[in-house]
Structure 1
Amino acid sequence: MRLRPFAALSAVALSAILLAGCSGSGGGDATPSASASGDPSACIVDAPSGSDSEAVTVDGSAPDFTVSVPDGLAFSEVQRTVLSEGDGEVLGAGSLVSASYQVLDGATGEVLLDSADTSATDDGLVPLLIDASQPSMGAVAADCNPLGSTVVLTVPGSAIGDETNNYVIVAHTDADLPRTATGTPQEPQAGLPTVTLAEDGTPTITIPDTAAPTDLQIEVLKQGDGAEVADGDQVTLQYAGVSWDTKEEFDSSWSRGAPSAFTTTGVYEGFGDALVGQKVGSQVLVVMPPSMGDLSGSLKDQTLTFVIDILGTQHGVAAASGQ
């Protein structure tokens, strides 16, 4: 499936940050937090604290904090400072938490992105997935620090292919989020694939020995009561996909051992249709005809079946601003 990054400057920019961290451009081998255990090389970016990140001040409490960016920051390297250290587990690859963050212009201090504006919930928080293959600025800041920490990240534009601007990111992580659908089980529909769940929530999809439906089928297996997914949202989820034609699994976040995050417009048409209008906590079964699935790849002309656990959603920037 085709991922699109969210809450990020660009896929290229964040890949550059990742490469800079791996090449040691941070200029140090210390973990960003004294109590953050683990190998720094496993972090998305192994960035030291420094004069830039230490000069940024934050007033108030997340998600309603005010960030002050002083004049004259050097932005010679990526730096990260822990303003307050949480007492939760150290976050790493695959961690899924609620969080708040701001991305600011390093020269003017203007807030370029505020997660409170894109939050789908009354508390102003957003789901944050630590995923090195698709890292958001918030994830880069929060990674390798204990849950509950507030962190400042300063990023020179030159590190991400931007020779004009520099950036400041402040992120606060709040609480762990469920990694499976928590909604109320619903009565299954006759004639559609059946789903059984392992103890950890991993689904097994059984395709019936009948002809595949010719139009899109969407069934709610568990009804959640969280925020509603809007068109253009980034949705954090677990999923498994099976071909109706071969009855074989072709893709699964469960097999990779961590949730995934997709925009509703960055996936197969039928997959996106199955997300919009659903509530966080729901588990959804979708059967999509070939015209709504893999139109040119290895699954071309096959009917695809997915089971999707909706774990969190965050509105798109354009939707949040009314554009």
Structure 2
Amino acid sequence: METSFPFTLRSIVRLRPLATVSIAAAAVLLLAGCSSAATPDASGSPSPSASAVDLCAATAPSGAASESVTVEGEPGTESTATFTAPLDITELERTVISEGTGDPVEAGQLITYALTAFSAETGEKLGAVGYKEGEILPAQISPDNPLGQVIGCSTPGTRLVATFPASDSAAGEVYIFDFLSVVPDAAWGEPVAPVDGMPTVKLDESGAPTITIPDTDPPTEVEIANLKTGDGPVVVSGDQVLVQYTGVKWSDGTVFDSSWENGAPAAFQTTAVVEGFKQALEGQTVGSQVLVVVPPAFGYGASEGHELQKETLVFVVDILGTQHPNA
């Protein structure tokens, strides 16, 4: 089967309502929106950005249903929820159980989180996800999706209860959410010395790379070099990964695709990309930045008529998250 490549996956995926999907599917919350930063006010102190204000305004209200749930356990660990079932839920509600610290999250930022789900009809625990490494990808938060409406403009470490009403396709559900951290949108690992003879890479202030091709013939085998080595979980075959990437042609150095230019990180499975790109991902750790040179035989050489069929491709890839197949 012919493999695809990230630039065929350009899209900003909207969140599905959590109450309409299983606990595992509900956790796969992908990309929406873009980031912006706080701006100083006249006193020189940071003032809430429009993104932070938007999240605050979009926050679901607290109400009788969410306030009736008792939560036991420490924030950041799998816990229990007790309530009188069946719980009458008429609209999405959220109640803060404990507040975190640090700066409030802003729309467009990537976050890690964990959740435990319960049936509103029976009180039965449906499952938990996000409390172990490699279980779910970071999510890009937005006031337009359920995750943003639950987390709102909270600070990392905040624990919340959210109650979702029944829909035509699903019963009502109760969730304990743990907002764990804000994730950088560029690789954060330890820098590694560049490899002689490989393309050179320069990063701008945002972390977006500019790639310069050496004045030599391209290699005939895949060449991989770490530019940064992260400290997160290891990417294994079949993982769903969240990455930033830029791809250029060795022949003329032109960019043919870039998540940085597309406006958001990309999410895809390691086995759904060309072989050279797959090799650059698997075995790496989250937080790493990888430089890879992909000759046609490991790219689109077998794809007759493809615009990149005869091209040697060069990529810089920032690995922001991974989700293991068994998660």
TM normalised by structure 1 equals 0.70
Match of 2:139 among 129, 134, 144: 129
Distance 1:37 1:92, change over 3 A: closer
Shift of 1:60: 0.8
- For structure 1, the 5+ residue unaligned runs are 19-35
* Residues 191, 208 of structure 1: 8 Å contact kept: yes
Match of 2:162 among 153, 168, 189: 153
> What does residue 129 of structure 2 align with?
114
Provide the rounded CA distance (Å) in 1 between the counterparts of 2:144 and 2:196: 38
- For structure 2, the 5+ residue unaligned runs are 1-5, 31-50
Provide the rounded CA distance (Å) in 1 between the counterparts of 2:114 and 2:60: 20
Provide the rounded CA distance (Å) in 1 between the counterparts of 2:191 and 2:183: 19
Name the larger-Rg structure.
Answer: 2
Match of 1:192 among 188, 198, 202: 198
Distance 1:217 1:140, change over 3 A: farther
Provide the rounded CA distance (Å) in 2 between the counterparts of 1:67 and 1:115: 17
Provide the rounded CA distance (Å) in 2 between the counterparts of 1:261 and 1:228: 16
Provide the rounded CA distance (Å) in 2 between the counterparts of 1:55 and 1:119: 31
Distance 1:114 1:208, change over 3 A: same
> What does residue 248 of structure 2 align with?
242
TM normalised by structure 2 equals 0.70
AA aligned to 1:85 is E
RMSD: 3.9
SS in 2 for 1:182: coil
Match of 1:168 among 174, 184, 187: 174
Distance 1:190 1:197, change over 3 A: same
Shift of 1:95: 1.8
SS in 2 for 1:112: strand
Match of 1:77 among 76, 91, 102: 91
AA aligned to 2:150 is A
Provide the rounded CA distance (Å) in 1 between the counterparts of 2:56 and 2:305: 35
> What does residue 214 of structure 2 align with?
208
- Would you say how many aligned residue pairs link Structure 1 and Structure 2? 286
Which 4+ runs in 1 deviate beyond 6 A? 3-8
Shift of 1:259: 4.3
Could you list the per-position Cα deviations for residues 155-198 of structure 1 after superposition, in whole angstroms to 9, with x for gaps in the alignment?
A: 3352xxx5243333221123333443333333433443221223
Distance 1:215 1:140, change over 3 A: farther
Could you list the per-position Cα deviations for residues 99-156 of structure 1 after superposition, in whole angstroms to 9, with x for gaps in the alignment?
A: 322233433432334222x424xxxx96633245997x75663243233221222233
Provide the rounded CA distance (Å) in 2 between the counterparts of 1:288 and 1:134: 38
Shift of 1:94: 2.7
Distance 1:49 1:134, change over 3 A: closer
Provide the rounded CA distance (Å) in 2 between the counterparts of 1:140 and 1:305: 39
Provide the rounded CA distance (Å) in 1 between the counterparts of 2:173 and 2:284: 35
SS in 2 for 1:247: coil
> What does residue 73 of structure 2 align with?
60
> What does residue 105 of structure 2 align with?
91
Provide the rounded CA distance (Å) in 2 between the counterparts of 1:269 and 1:143: 40
> What does residue 218 of structure 1 align with?
224
* Residues 111, 180 of structure 2: 8 Å contact kept: yes
